[in-house]
Structure 1
């Protein structure tokens, strides 16, 4: 299913999976993002990868005009990955309660597990959200 073939009604269910991966670059290291002085994959970069996997899990199952926004991430970054290493994340949708989506996310590099997280996203009507956001800028 392509992004233009979104369903008319939200089609989310527990068990859906999404994936994301990247090769660690210098721009993703702790010194580059301001989260430390050792040139290894930064926790904020891991958080972004995990959110990418969660978005990939649900994006094509949301109704036309909807999007999901991350509202909570409880992350444990357990192993270091050097620049040049491929890192991957898998998000599993574990719960759907109205607009609230819950995920379990696991990440690894080519050697070992590098982190786990629980994550919450909220489904929003994009037009309504942008309207409220614009009101804040006025």
Structure 2
């Protein structure tokens, strides 16, 4: 299988953190700062966006792992910038290194893996699994 993905491909995403990104949205007794799950979601998003530009019709990607370190708090309203870079390509599995910064300092880093899927086959398996609940 030929792949359009190469080690070194990268993408960056910037957002302004919002009240909906607060750690308090996940649990009330947490600080009112940019949440770790919000950071992980941005890391997944920027990696998926990089992949999406090169997928064939009918393909999607799914996250299969993330090792995330959230190293510094970010006040809500501050910009967050996340950069992803492909570090390994193994068939349909892609590995990424990510770094995140707010307007003052580095706030996080992660390694992340995504797998390229055929959407119709994946959705059929999910639908079959959902039937088992009935």
Q: How many residue pairs get matched?
A: 130
- Does residue 106 (structure 1) correspond to residue 104 (structure 2)? The answer is no
* CA-atom RMSD in angstroms: 1.4
Q: Is the 8 A contact 1:19 1:52 kept in 2?
A: no
Aligned match for 1:117, one of 85, 110, 117:
110
Aligned match for 1:63, one of 56, 59, 65:
56
* 1:111–1:95 CA distance, 2 compared to 1 (3 A): same
* 1:98–1:35 CA distance, 2 compared to 1 (3 A): farther
Partner of 1:6: none
TM superposition outliers: structure 1 runs of 4+ over 4 Å: none
Moved more, 82-91 or 34-43: 34-43
Q: Is the 8 A contact 2:68 2:110 kept in 1?
A: yes
CA distance in 1 between counterparts of 2:4 and 2:42 reads 24
Structure 2 unaligned segments of length 5 or more: list them. Answer: none
Structure 1 unaligned segments of length 5 or more: list them. Answer: 1-8
CA distance in 1 between counterparts of 2:93 and 2:28 reads 30
Partner of 1:47: 40
Deviations along 1:41-71, whole A, 9 cap, x unmatched?
Answer: 0000000011111112211112221111001
TM-score with structure 1 length normalisation? 0.89
CA distance in 2 between counterparts of 1:63 and 1:12 reads 12
